[in-house]
Structure 1
Amino acid sequence: MGTQPLHAVHRTVVVVDVVAFSRRSPAPQAEIRRGLYAALEAAFEGSGLDWSAIDHEDRGDGVLVLVPPDVPKSRVVGGLPHALLGELRRYNATRTEDARIRLRMAITAGEVRHDEHGVLGGEVTLAFRLLDSRPLREAVARSAALFALIVSDRFYEDVVGPNPAMDPESFRRVGVEVKEVRGHAWLHVPHSGPVEQAPVAEPVAAEPVVRTPGPPPAGRRRLPASLVPVLLFVAVTNAAGASPPAVPPCPPPVQLNVLTSTELEGVVRSIALEFEEDARRRNDLGCREVDALVFSGPSDEEAAAALGRGWSTADLTAVGPEPHVWLPDSTAEVRPAQATLRTRTDTVLRPRGSVAVSPVVVGAAEELAVALDGGFRWEHAVRTVAVDTSSGVGVVAAAALAHAKLGGLYLRTREVPRQLHEITRAATAGPACVGDVLLVGSEKAVAGTTGCRVVYPQDRVPVLDHPFVEVERPTRPPNERRRHIVDRFHEHLLAPPAQDGFRRAGFRDVDWNVGSDPGPGVRADRPQSLPIEPDAKAIRDAWKAASRSRVIGVAGDGSPDATRFLDQVRLLGGPADVVIALSLSEHLAEEAVKREVDVVVLATRSPAPEVRTTLGGAVEVVAVGFEEGACTPSTALYAAADDHGGSCHEIVDKNGSGPSERQEGALGDIARAAWGD
C-alpha cells in the first residue's frame, strides 16, 4: 500500500470475497485471482475512479479496498456495483464453471488507521463481519446473481437512503449477528429476483374442486386422464413444503449513462427515474431493465471536448463515466465534436433531433422591460451580466451578442478582437435585472431569475434545440440490449409525460408549448427564430480571448500626436485590464517582461531608440510613428516591432488613407495582440 498516513483518515471501505474459492483446484484459483483483479480495476476505472490511486490489500480469496477520502461515497455505491456486474459477466462468459466468479461484497465508511502490520479500524472490522454474515451468505446461496452487496446501517442511512438515484427500495434491512457485531445492515442482491426464499406453505386439507369440462385452449392438447392424479399429487407435494417453484432470475439491467448539459440535468434526472420505473412496470417479471446514470460533467465545454477525444481514460476521472447518450443544449456543441472525431473510427455521434427547445432571450427589471417592450434589439444589450461560454447556453448567448456587434459570425477578421472586447469589457458581475443590467440566457433561466422579466428582441431570437445524441462505439462488439434501451429512452423523452416534465421545468416542448406557469414576460406564442449556426469552439475561443485581463505597457516620446494616441490606447482597456507607462529606451522590452506586460505600444514622432531583443520572456510590440517613412525596414521603430512579433504603423495622410483610418488600423492591431486568440 506504499507510504500511509500516521493518523486516522476517513475512508470508504469495500471488501469482496470470492464465493466457494477454497473448493477450486489451484489452476482455476490462479485464473480467478487474475480475473478478480482485472474486473475490480476495470469496474473502478469505468466508474470514474482511478484504480492506481486506490489502496488495496490482497486477502487470498478476496480484496480489501480503501477508497480515497475525497471520493464521494455515492459515487462508490452508485456506480461501482453496476460496473463490477458488467465486468463479471464479461469474464464469466469466456470461462468454464470451475473458473467463474461470484462475489460477496460489503461496504462501510469510517476512520481507518495504519500501523506496521497493515490496516485497522472499527469500520474495517465491521466490513469483514458483514461479509461473513449469515444474511449475505444465504442471499448468495439462494440467488443466481453474480454478487450480493451488504452495507452498514449507518452507510445506508447516510448515503443510500436519502438518494433516489441509489434505488434504496432495492435494499432490504436484515439482522446481523457475527461475533461481537449485533445489529442491522442493508442487503442488496442485484437483478436476481427475490432475495429470500418464499415461505413454506402450511399443509391444508384439500377440498374437492369441481370444474366444468370445456374445450382445451387453442393450440394445446388435453392431458390424458391417467396423468391427472400424478400431476395433482406433484402439485400438492410442492404446496405442502417440498420447495417453491423456481423463479427465473432477472437478467442484469442495462447500464445507461446519460451525459446532459448543466441546464438539463435536473429535469433529465427526474425523467430518467420515471423511465427506469416505467421499464420495471412493463417487465413481465417486474425485473429492473435499466440503470440510468445522469451526470453533467464539470462543464458543458469539458464534456464536449471529452466526446471529441473519444472519451479517454483520463476523462473517466475528470469528467465521468463513458456516456451512451448525450443531451447538450445546442447542436452548435455537437458539430465541433463531430469534426474532431472524423479522424477516429472508435466513436460516432448520431443526433436524433430535439427533445425540447428554449429560445435565448434577454431579462430586464420590470420597469425597464416595460419600456423596452416591442422596441428592443440585440445591439441594445450593452450592459449585461457576464456570459459564461463554458455552458451550452452561454455559447448561444455569446453568439447572439457577437452577431449583432459584428453583423454576422465572421470571427477571423482583424476587427473581431476589438469589437468582442468592447462587449465583454462592458459586462458586469453585479446582480441581474437591477437598474439597467440585463441578463442574456435561456427563457427558462431568465424567467426563473428573481427580478427578471423576459424580453424578446424584435430582431429575432436564437434557439437552443436540446438534441438527443447517441454515442456509438463501432469498434466494440454490438450491444443490442443497450441499443434497444437507447431507442426506448429516446421515445420516452418524446412521450407526453416527459414532454410535460420539460414544460413544468420551464422548457418548451418540441411543439413550442410552454408550461402552465411560464414566468414573468414569457409569451405562449412561438417567437421568430434567428437563423445562426455558431461554431461552439470558435465562439468559446474568441470570447475567452476577448474577456481575458491584459497588462498593456505604453511608451511615448511626449509629442502631442503620441500622447493623444496613447490616450486612445488607454480607452481600449476594460475594468479588468491594466495600462502602465514604460520608459522609452533600449531596455523597453526587458522592463516590460519584468513587469509582466502582455503587449507594448511604442508611439513616437521622433526617431525611436534601438530596443534590445529580450531573452527573458516573450512580449509583443506594436509600434506607431507619426512621420512618413517611420516604419521603413531600416528604422529602429520597425525593428522594435519586427523583433518582438508585432506590427509597425505610420499614422500619416498617405495614398488617400487619412490619419484617422490609419489610427483605427493601429488600434485594431493592438486589440488583436491583446485579445485575439
Structure 2
Amino acid sequence: MPVPAKGRIILEHGEGFGRRLLVSVDAKSYGRGDDQRQVAIQDGLLKVLDEAAAGARLSRAGWIRQGAGDGELAVLPEGESEPRVVDDFVRELHAALTRHNHDRTDEAWLRLRMAVHFGVAMPASNGFSGQGIVAVSRLVDSRPLRAALAATGGPLAVVLSGRVYDETVVQRHTSLAAADFRKVPVRNKEFVESAWIRVPGADVHAHDLGLDVQDDGGAQNGRDTGGDTAGEGGAGSEGGAGSGRVPSPAPGVQNQFHGTVHAHGATFGNSFR
C-alpha cells in the first residue's frame, strides 16, 4: 500500500472495501436550542448511548464513532451482534432515555432518531465513504422517521433498512415481532428504498406519517432544522425493499462522512475484510 502523505489515507484499488453494521443516531430539534441546551443535548446523547451499550453487553470502545454535535455515526466491528443491536440495544436506549428525561419538562426531553443498516463503509481521507454510509445517513434523516418520532411523542424512533429487517426480525433472530414494524417508502435525495420503522412503547401503525408527502429529509445539508412535525412523511418507490441496494450517486459526486472520528484500537488504511 502506498505511504500516506501528510496523514491522507491512500488506498489501492479494492483495498479497504468491507461491509459493516452501521448505526446512526440524531437528536430532534437540536438547532432550536440555545448554546446551553445544545451542550446538554450533546452530553445526554453520549450518556444514554454508553448506558444502552453497556446494558446490551456491547463494547462501544470497539466502535469507530464519528460525532456531529447532535448525532453520531458508528461503524461497528466484525463480531458485534447484529440482532443484539437491533433488539437489546434499542430496548436499553429507550430505557436510558426514559431515565434521562424523568422530571424534565417536555421541551427539555432528549428525543432521538436511530437508523441501522448493513453496507459498505470504507476509510477515506476525511472519515468514511461508501454507499452504506450514504444509506444509513439518509434513513436517519428521512421524513417518515421524523414524522414517527413527532407523532408518537416518545423519546425514540428506529428505522431498519430492508436487509437488516429481513435478516434479523423476519428470520426471528430477535425477540421482536414483525407486526411491530411499519413499512415505509423513503426517498431522500439519491436514496430510494423501503425501510421499516418501529417506535418502542407505541403503535406506529396508528399514526399518520404523511406518506403522501415527498421526502427530502426535512433538513438542509443533512442537518436537523427543527422541522419535525407529525404530518411529515416520505414518499417514493417501493423498489428494492430488502435488497440493500442503494442507487449510485450522480457522476462526479464523492460520498464521504466528515468530522472527528473516535476509533479506539482501529488501524485506518487496512482492509475491513
Q: TM-score, normalising length from structure 2?
A: 0.68
Q: Find the partner of 1:177 among 187, 191, 194.
A: 187
Residues 343-402 of structure 1: CA deviation (Å, up to 9, x unaligned) = xxxxxxxxxxxxxxxxxxxxxxxxxxxxxxxxxxxxxxxxxxxxxxxxxxxxxxxxxxxx
Task: Specify the alignment match of 2:207 in structure 1.
Answer: 197
Q: Shift of the alpha carbon at 1:196?
A: 4.5
Are residue 108 (structure 1) and residue 132 (structure 2) matched?
A: no
Alpha-carbon distance in 1 for matches of 2:65, 2:59: 12
Shift of the 56–85 alpha-carbon distance from structure 1 to 2, 3 Å rule, reads same
Are residue 79 (structure 1) and residue 88 (structure 2) matched?
A: yes
Are residue 121 (structure 1) and residue 130 (structure 2) matched?
A: yes
* % same residue: 31
Larger Rg: 1
Alpha-carbon distance in 1 for matches of 2:103, 2:193: 40
Q: TM-score, normalising length from structure 1?
A: 0.28
Q: Which has the higher contact order (CA 8 A, sep 6+)?
A: 2
Counterpart contact for 1:143–1:195, Cα < 8 Å: no
Residues 595-618 of structure 1: CA deviation (Å, up to 9, x unaligned) = xxxxxxxxxxxxxxxxxxxxxxxx
Alpha-carbon distance in 1 for matches of 2:182, 2:103: 32
Which structure shows the bigger proportion of residues in helix conformation?
1
Aligned length: 198
Alpha-carbon distance in 2 for matches of 1:95, 1:63: 23
Alpha-carbon distance in 2 for matches of 1:46, 1:135: 28
Counterpart contact for 1:109–1:155, Cα < 8 Å: yes
Q: Find the partner of 1:10 among 15, 19, 35.
A: 19
Structure 1 runs of 4+ with >6 Å offset: none
Task: Specify the alignment match of 2:39 in structure 1.
Answer: 30
Task: Specify the alignment match of 1:188 in structure 2.
Answer: 198
Alpha-carbon distance in 1 for matches of 2:131, 2:200: 27
Unaligned runs of 5+ in 2: 1-8, 210-273
Q: Find the partner of 1:61 among 56, 66, 70.
A: 70
Shift of the 198–110 alpha-carbon distance from structure 1 to 2, 3 Å rule, reads closer
Q: Shift of the alpha carbon at 1:191?
A: 1.1
Shift of the 29–9 alpha-carbon distance from structure 1 to 2, 3 Å rule, reads same
Counterpart contact for 1:43–1:84, Cα < 8 Å: yes
Residues 37-73 of structure 1: CA deviation (Å, up to 9, x unaligned) = 0110111111111121111110121110111111121
Task: Specify the alignment match of 1:91 in structure 2.
Answer: 100
Shift of the 26–45 alpha-carbon distance from structure 1 to 2, 3 Å rule, reads same
The equivalences for 1:120-519 within 5 A come to: 120-163=129-172, 165-197=175-207
Aligned partner of 1:166: which letter? Answer: L
Q: Shift of the alpha carbon at 1:123?
A: 1.1
Counterpart contact for 2:197–2:204, Cα < 8 Å: no
Q: Find the partner of 2:54 among 45, 52, 64.
A: 45
Alpha-carbon distance in 1 for matches of 2:81, 2:151: 32
Shift of the 198–28 alpha-carbon distance from structure 1 to 2, 3 Å rule, reads closer
Aligned partner of 1:82: which letter? Answer: R
Counterpart contact for 1:10–1:69, Cα < 8 Å: no
What secondary structure, in the 3-state scheme, does the structure 2 residue paired with 1:43 have? helix
What secondary structure, in the 3-state scheme, does the structure 2 residue paired with 1:173 have? strand
Q: Shift of the alpha carbon at 1:139?
A: 0.8
Aligned partner of 1:160: which letter? Answer: V
What secondary structure, in the 3-state scheme, does the structure 2 residue paired with 1:165 have? coil
Q: Shift of the alpha carbon at 1:94?
A: 4.3
Residues 608-662 of structure 1: CA deviation (Å, up to 9, x unaligned) = xxxxxxxxxxxxxxxxxxxxxxxxxxxxxxxxxxxxxxxxxxxxxxxxxxxxxxx
Alpha-carbon distance in 2 for matches of 1:195, 1:26: 36
Alpha-carbon distance in 1 for matches of 2:69, 2:141: 15
Alpha-carbon distance in 2 for matches of 1:198, 1:117: 39
Task: Specify the alignment match of 2:244 in structure 1.
Answer: none
